[in-house]
Amino acid sequence: MSVSAVAADRSLCAPLPVLGRDVLVPLVTGGEVDYAALDYAASAPTLQRVWDDVAGYAPYYGSVHRGAGYLSQLSTDLFENSRATIAGFLGCRADDQVVFTRSTTDSLNLLAAALPRDTEVFVFETEHHASLLPWEQRADTVVTYLNAPRTPQQAVETLEKALAGRAAAGRGPALVCVTGASNVTGELWPVRELAAAAHAHGARIVLDAAQLAPHHPVDIATLDVDWVAFSGHKLYAPFGAGVLAGRADWLQAAEPYLAGGGASRKVSRRADGGVDVEWHTTAARHEAGSPNVIGAYSIASACQALTEAGFETLVAREQALIARLREGLAEVPEVKVLSLFGDDAPRVGVLSFVIEGWNSSHFAAALSAEYGIGVRDGLFCAHPLVRTLLGSEPQEPGECGAPEAAPGERSLNAIRVSFGAGTPEEHVERFVRAVKELVADGARWNYRTEDGRCVPDTSA
């Protein structure tokens, strides 16, 4: 049996096969190995099922909402059926809207643009930048940043205290933004309890489910959240699409996110030379331009695949992988796992850590070059959270990618390993083995910094 056939056979241990499961990558020390993709929190591999579905539709691709021809009608039906599939996946209420966007970031920026005037937004400093930064883009929005809690209960208490102060002052609309699962620690947040606290004080809540939806059921009605945002590329779907789903009233009352065809129902000239526009009140109001039908269909296909596989089965398997990973890292005293809520907190397959005596970028480079393992290093676009977890000063240098620091030097960054339904058990075992070997024996190759990245030195 060939090496690639062996790799493909091992991949069958994963419940949902993904593209790239049999890709071989070169090792700087010689030879090749099947690539261990352990950076799902950035972009998950595409499900084979999704790719096959998209390939099957591709010959029938046509313009959406634009043409009278058969392919246009078929594509329009596919697009709208995808919207319905995603609504079912999210447990949307009857009057909720599902708006297609480009990503979680785009979804939350859309919602930020749709906020009523003088809305006050409450957001924990622990959020990913996609859910931390959009709210200050408007001068009429007030943003209150909440300190990082150290327990789920403290998160609820912190929010309740902040909202009680707002209500006492008799201020206007309010929105709470919270992640479902941290992109740094993988820890689950008490979404339902936070939603209850928000509603008790007259506020609404949006859930950033980018890291939650690929690992756990997300039900808008059960969680009692007002909106959910997530990205297709983290849900095993390619093509740059995302979703904002939830209450329609603020979206219907807002100016269209983009002005153009598709968002408008009727455009006419006025006597004074200008134009009058009647905008759609459906999700189309914020979907101007030619829709990304393939992106929407890929998300719907991924939703169906996850549903059919059964989240109960997927969650149980992932928890076993998490337990094996934590058990292995606990055997290395130099490893410090980053956590807000402690070792017993429920989590998804995302874990970040630092290693005493190692620059995280150097360690990540060695994992890739010497073991064929892909992880993430840096601050993971969650700078305030990682700084808090590392106990750093706010001004200490650090960036999303690798900082300019030589191997072994102190630098503000960490290593993140993440996985999901397409991860073979062997990849987690290889990772644990590689961590132990690198910490015990050191890297087998020399590395240098090039364009901000730590890379193998091949100049010798």
The per-residue DSSP string of 290-320 comes to: S--HHHHHHHHHHHHHHHHH-HHHHHHHHHH
Q: Assign residue 386 a region: left if phi > 0, alpha if psi is -120 to 50, beta otherwise?
A: alpha
Interatomic CA distance for residues 180 and 205, integer angstroms = 12
Across the chain, mean pLDDT equals 92
Residue 167 has a pLDDT of: 60
Residue with the two structure tokens 């059964």: 310
Interatomic CA distance for residues 114 and 250, integer angstroms = 6
Whether residue 1 has pLDDT greater than 70: no
Q: Which two tokens stand for residue 414?
A: 């960490």
Please indicate whether residue 381 is annotated as part of the active site: yes
DSSP conformation class of 200:
H
The catalytic residue among 92, 381, 400, 454 is 381
Who contacts 110 (Cβ-Cβ below 8 Å, separation ≥6)? 99, 101, 244, 257, 286
Residue 453 has a pLDDT of: 86
Q: pLDDT by residue (tens digit) across 251-278?
A: 999 999 999 999 999 999 999 989 999 9
Interatomic CA distance for residues 208 and 231, integer angstroms = 10
Question: Is 146:162 a contact under the CB 8 Å cutoff?
Answer: yes
Whether residue 399 has pLDDT greater than 70: no
**Closest among 244, 292, 262, 306 to 113, alpha carbons compared:** 244
Instruction: Name which of 215-219, 235-239, 290-294, 390-394 the model is least confident about.
Output: 390-394
Q: pLDDT by residue (tens digit) across 297-338?
A: 999 999 999 999 999 999 999 999 999 999 999 999 999 999
Residue 197 has a pLDDT of: 98
Average pLDDT over residues 205-211: 98
Whether residue 168 has pLDDT greater than 70: no
Helices (H), 331-382: 360-371
Q: pLDDT by residue (tens digit) across 109-163?
A: 999 999 999 999 999 999 999 999 999 988 899 999 999 999 999 999 999 999 9
pLDDT band at 178 (very low <50, low <70, confident <90, very high): very high
Who contacts 23 (Cβ-Cβ below 8 Å, separation ≥6)? 34, 35
Residue 2 has a pLDDT of: 37
